[in-house]
Structure 1
Amino acid sequence: VWSLLLCGLSIALPAFVRADVCKVISMPNETTSVDGPFAFNCTYPPLTSGEVNITWYKNSSRIPISKHSESRIHQDQTWILFLPFALEDTGIYQCVIEGRNSCHRIHLNLSVHKKYWCNGSRNGLLNLSEEYKQILHVGDDGSLTCHLIFPESCVFDLIKWYKDCEEIKGERFTPLRAMLTVNNVSVEDGGNYACKARLKHMGKTYTVLNGITVNTTERTGYGGNIPKIIYPKNNSIEVLPGSTLIVDCKIIDMRDNTNLRCWKVRNTLVNDYYNESGRVREGIEDPVRFREHISYTVNITFLEVKMEDYDLPFMCHAGVSTAYIILKLPVPDFRAYLIGGLLALTVVAVSVVWLYNVFKIDVVLWYRSAFYSPETMEDGKLYDAYVLYPKPHQESQSHAVDTLVLKILPEVLERQCGYKLFIFGRDEFPGQAVADVIYENTRLCRRLIVILVPESPGFGLLKNMSEEQIAVYNALIQDGIKVILIELGKIDNYTAMPESIQYIRQKHG
């Protein structure tokens, strides 16, 4: 029984405690606006530099995101695309990168905020994304960038620029695709800007709206414009010890600038600081060239996060511009452990109940053989059961009843299990009156076993038994003695039985 129980648990529990073979890569949160298109590209060198298979999932679902281009949410090569993003899409998405000998899982936490466009009740562009902060230098010619990061299947046109709810016009401002050039920047050019673009995909059109907070600064002694670090934002990242982590430093700089872009820790280049172990490395710089500026991406890769990395600022440097990240231990999610524990307990309970129902007789017999005490119970009873059985007229039925009562029951209940039976026709003394035998011995028994046999039509059950036996049997029902009915063959019609037997059958089965 214990072997069967352990076997059942070993089959049922793995579905709930199966370990994920993929390494988890923590990613920063992404915030997008409701009712607007959104895209995220799952490409992280060197993980995606070779032949890999990339699949997107939502939350902990095992069903991949659809790759059908007509779906509102679908995977476009390495991208996940929302056309548009809805409030119910908020959650954690997983990008699984599977190579020949590796598997990485990137968690992307998407949250939503509401973008308010200018209308009669609002005086400005409120609650637009604060991610895009750009700087214009007074007295210089500068440019603003509308970040339209989408896959190649998305085509943009009709890009318009606004400042403080009014479309930008004038000789000093020149829209050029995703850029807005500003000549002879003045202090008044700072403020809230927005770029509005029309996106076309599979014959449908959508509107992308990005807000940009522009600050103006005086020209410094530094040669050239100051680089702009889009990310990180001096923020913290929650990551588990032992995980693989990749963080991108996104920088925008002018084409003519020769600023150094790198990651440092404790004022030392990360490649030098971790020279011996190579556990933390700076990635290869990935530039994207535009007409007047270049967008750089320089990542830092933690092959294995250790406790010594926590609460330590990792600085991204771009010329005189700096920004840092700090690794933090994630807050434990006790709900997952609680749900997993409850599911495991439920599986164990269901398995035990199922196994007991199937093998309960074996369990009882094992318990009896292990813990049964042969000592007589102090209840004044001499017998464990009184066996009451009929004497059928048919020879075949009579032989079957005698075999059961006089051979099988004594062999099993008395010799093997240690019970003591009183069998009428075997244990009474010669010459005793039937009524006296039944009356005296039934009072000395703890149970009453009644043998029932299927009868031919017109042959009533127990009709050949004495009136004293039936009277005592009816009295036993009132005295509350436990009655066990045994059918020797299937009985189709119970209506011919005495009402007392029908009552016992209905009550106890």
Structure 2
Amino acid sequence: MGRSSLIFLVAVLRATECAVISKETLGPESCKDYGQEFDRAYSIPGEAAILECPLEMHYLFNTAETAYNITWYDERTGSEITELEQSIMLKKTQVWFYNVSMQQQGKYTCVVRTQSECYKQATELVVTEMTSENCVRPQNGVQGINANVNDLLVCPLRKYLKSVDSPSIQWYKNCELLQEDEKFALNEDILHIRKVNFNDAGFYTCKMTFHLAGVVREMAETIECEVKDEYLKKPQIIKPVNEIIKVERGSSFKKDCVVIVRGNGFPMVNVLWKVLRGSEEECISPNTSHRIHQIPTNESRTEDGFLLVQTLFLSAVWEEDFYLNFTCIASSSRGEPTGQISLVPADGNFFLLLCLLLGSVALLFVMGVLLCTIFKVELALWVRTVFPFLYKTTDGDGKQYDAYIAYPRVLEGSSEKAEIFAMSTLPQVLEGQYGYKLFILGRDGLPGEAVVDVVQDALSRCRRLLLLYTAASLCSPEAQEWAEQQTGLYQALVEDSMSIVLLELEAIRQPLRLPHAVRLLKDKQGALQAWKKRKRWAFSDGKSEDRVTSLQPSARFWREIFTSGAQLCV
């Protein structure tokens, strides 16, 4: 079957067209004739009238790819209609009559030509005098609205709004112009009527005023409004509402989906059950021979509407039915409310729940241990920061200080780094931020006391020793003599009688020059080499790039101190 034959069949089936197609000559060509359109255009003298070409061209050929032109003919004379005639304008597929008269009433033919084909169809313009005393036009359409609700009327002229310039629409009931008030809401081509009652029935006219060819024109349509005592609200599901239901394995089960539709008239509502299995939603079968099926809807009338009941039935509940979502859907043009149920075992699984609980507790315990192990230092520092009063007394070991800070005093020609770090930076961080108690020789000893006695007594009251040194401060003969003269310090280094941390503030290029006891301890447990992290905790004062100030070191640097052998945070 060829393309032209298919077009022929489509055109024949159109309800608004005649079914007889013949070959007739209109002008020089022979065109396919689709008869006369059933619909007519109505107007009254003095108004504008529009004729639309009745041919559905997109059924006949591809309008986007095929060039075509449209010609109009007056069937009474057989002559072509042109814009040279008075009060007529051709606009795309339309013929506009500016000021229609009784003489222009009649049949008009639209002819569409392509390079290889020609089609034609006739339409009719009916012009009638308006003699009605209530402003009702001779011809009108019918629209129905529902009582007891808000409803609307649509102006039939809305299809011409985009074809004219500066359109405006006014609404009339009989001859009375309607205004915006509590009853009516005007929205150009739509008239909203609030709380419709039977008195709202009658004839409504929408009049469109517009500009055409630089002249103000008018056209109007009348609607016969019928009020129907039929309306339906959005269906409402009374039950189920997201229910979890306990059932015995192997037992039968049924659940009603109860839907209320308030209003009058026939309820166009479809109530059905669905189940979600994995990612796919399945409709429950209405076949009663299936294990899971739904019983046909039971419909009854109530005082204010209708009651619909759709029943879900399981002849035997299997394990696979548990924890699925069974959904009832009330489908209508006004909305689709839903209600869900989920089935769970009635006996439950106490052993499974107990295992889950114990497993959760064990998992939390393991995670807690891991976190405490990994973040032990951070937790201890946080506790010291938040609860500093807990560390103002000893831990029951009789010690008064957390650490003894030892460093060689500034000797002639030695570096000041150890003294600056010991007297400024350490107190700011350990004492000022974390509440540690430090003993610093030269700051905490009493004036006039012998150095040996002070060192011996202070070490006995401290839990650990932090020895600070640089290449210049501990490698000189004077520094070694200083270390050996402090008997308590020397014994702590040699006898390993307390926890000790070595802190190098700069690189030691000649380690053999260190005191023997310091070398042994460094070989045994290593030393914190702060000089490798210098850029994180020191800055230049503009005079010396190596001068250490009281600026707070980075958290990473302090972590190395806290996690060292001294374990200051414990």
Q: What is the TM-score when the length of structure 1 is the normalising length?
A: 0.37
Q: What is the TM-score when the length of structure 2 is the normalising length?
A: 0.33
- Higher-Rg member (1/2): 2
Choose between structure 1 and 2 for higher RCO, CA contacts under 8 A separated by at least 6 residues.
1
